[in-house]
Amino acid sequence: MFNHLLSLLIWLPVAGAIPVLLAGSARPNTARWLALIVAVLTLAASLLLLVQYHPDAGGMQLSESYLWIASWGVHYSLAVDGISVALIVMTTFVGILVIVGAWEVIQDRPHQYMAAMLMLEGLLIGVFCATDALLFYALFEAILIPMFILIGIWGGPRRVYATLKFFIYTFFGSVFMLIALLYLYQKAGTFDMATLAALPLTMKEQTWIFFAFLIAFAIKVPMVPVHTWLPDAHVEAPTGGSVVLAAVMLKVGTYGMLRFILPITPDAGAHFAWLVIGLSLVAVVYIGYVALVQEDMKKLVAYSSVAHMGFVTLGIFIAFMLVREQGNTDMAQLGMQGAMVQMISHGFVSGAMFTCIGVLYDRLHSRQIKDYGGVINVMPWFGFFYVLFAMANSGLPGTSGFVGEFMVIMASFSANPWIALFAAFTLIIGAAYTLWLVKRVLWGDITNPHVADMKEINGRETFVLVAFAAAVLALGIWPQPLVHLMNTSVSQLVQQLAIHKI
């Protein structure tokens, strides 16, 4: 069994969704408990993965490979490096929390909700460990199906618009990637990602392929100017959907960049690094300002997600600039490392922020900031967690939010101080929009009489928030294990950046 650990991680939640679905609407509690059991087992399996993986050895580990489609040489092949392991553990961790978080909240067809969540979790894990490009693509697209259903059935009033926009937008991006992959298959005769990485390509080919990949992943991240689906999807999605979307699904975009753009089109990537860096800075600065003026809490956090993900893309492409223009691999490694830490950290922080908003929404059924005010008076414990996550969101030292951003800013400073200057803006704008949100929601007098009736968080909600808080603080105070887990993999990625393929 142990040499099929990755398959187990993918198929356990996917297969587990079937009995959950079969429990039917007549037995909602059976469905809930079954889903929880499956999610816990998946987390256990992912912890086993953490133990089995050797961070210092580097490379792709725990690989399994079977011939899937003989006449095309497509393999069902899975393997992980440190980055994948970190993302998988985060996925399974968040997976449990969304199931617990939805426990009583989802009353309408909970069995279908839980099953869709499990299916989504399994497919996301699959994306993080696929090493065959066609398998990756199939999983990358298949994620859309459960998410489409989640937003469409359990979402807010404009859910149909939001979910169609989400589906068509992301589908739009990825079909061009499919064309690029098929083109690469013509050249290489395989979809194996390691072989594709070694394939020499002319600058012209690389440029086209680079943009095909970029549009697919930029929409997923999402980067400015293709981020417009995200606020809609987040606002309309049910809490659990928002959490998975922000915490895990956005990472698929940046993960794809690491796995495809970086090794397959390094020269085009380096040539167009300025473009991606520019867009990332626009995301950090401009979207930060956009977040500031939002009146809907979920929209505010959605925009702050775009800004934070801008740091991840900045970190990845600043590494291109450092390696190719200055040969500074140490700093490049720092930038890349920072991007990875930011990915994980944003997963926990944004997940926690959306959970908090979900808690408020369940009580008042409003996401408008102006409907709140003085919540701390009736929900002091909730206020404590909310402030903590807000601090993490604005990058306060001691929380996970600080570590990644600091590393990326350091790296950008050695690339170009101007880039660092704009990137560092986030510390001001991020603090402004998050703290102002806290001020308007938590502090002050109770102006809305309904706020006075709000009940303190119950045991279930406390559990979810404590789990998120533990993760945020642990990464903030002691990021070393995470950095160590990914260190060798990141330095291997950075070494790849230096290889010219023309």
Partner 1 sequence: MPTFNDILIMAPEFYLVAAACVLLLADAFMTPEQRPQLHWISIVVLLVAGCLVIAGQPAQAVTAFGGMFVRDNVAEILKVFALGTTALVMVYARPYLIDLKLLIGEFYTLMIFAVIGIMLLVSAGNLVTVYLGLELLSLSSYALVALNRDAKLPSEAAIKYFVLGALASGMLLYGMSMVYGASGMGGTPSLDLASLHHVMAYTTAPKLLLFGLVFMLVGIGFKLGAAPFHMWIPDVYQGAPTPVTTFIASGSKLAAFGMAYRLLDAGMGDLSHQWQLMLAVLAVASLAIGNLVAIVQTNLKRMLAYSTISHMGYLLLGLAAAGPEGYAAAMFYAISYALMSVAAFGVILALARKGFECEEISDLKGLNQTSPWMAFLMLLAMFSLAGVPPLFGFWAKVLVLEAAIHADMLWLAVVGVVFAIIGLYYYLHVIKVMYFDKPAEGSVLQAKPDVTLRVMLSLNALSLLALGLYWGPLLGWCRRAFGL
What are the residues binding partner 1 (CB under 8 A)?
68-72, 112, 134, 137-139, 141-142, 144-145, 148-149, 152-153, 159-160, 163-164, 167-168, 171-172, 175-176, 178-179, 182-183, 185-186
Smallest separation, CB 168 to partner 1 (Å): 6
The residue (of 88 and 149) whose beta carbon lies closer to partner 1 is 149
Smallest separation, CB 138 to partner 1 (Å): 4
Q: How far apart are CA 322 and CA 446, in angstroms?
A: 52
The residue (of 162 and 270) whose beta carbon lies closer to partner 1 is 162
Q: Which among 197, 305, 190, 293 is positioned nearest to 243, based on CA atoms?
A: 305
The residue (of 47 and 168) whose beta carbon lies closer to partner 1 is 168
Smallest separation, CB 344 to partner 1 (Å): 27
| Residue 261 contacts residue 218 (beta carbons within 8 Å) | no
Q: Which among 388, 493, 489 is positioned nearest to 60, based on CA atoms?
A: 489
DSSP annotation of 71 reads G
Q: How far apart are CA 468 and CA 130, in angstroms?
A: 27
Smallest separation, CB 180 to partner 1 (Å): 10
| Residue 475 contacts residue 400 (beta carbons within 8 Å) | yes
The residue (of 139 and 341) whose beta carbon lies closer to partner 1 is 139
The DSSP code sequence of 299-355 is HHHHHHHHHHHHHHHHHHHHHHHIIIII--HHHHHHHHHHHHHHHHHHHHHHHHHHH
Q: Is 368 helix (H, G, I), strand (E, B) or coil?
A: strand
The residue (of 168 and 499) whose beta carbon lies closer to partner 1 is 168
Smallest separation, CB 236 to partner 1 (Å): 11
Q: In which element (H, E) is residue 61 found?
A: strand 61-69
Smallest separation, CB 63 to partner 1 (Å): 21
The residue (of 162 and 301) whose beta carbon lies closer to partner 1 is 162
Smallest separation, CB 288 to partner 1 (Å): 31
The residue (of 134 and 332) whose beta carbon lies closer to partner 1 is 134
Q: Which among 383, 337, 349, 304 is positioned nearest to 470, based on CA atoms?
A: 349
Query: CA Rg, the chain, in Å?
Result: 22
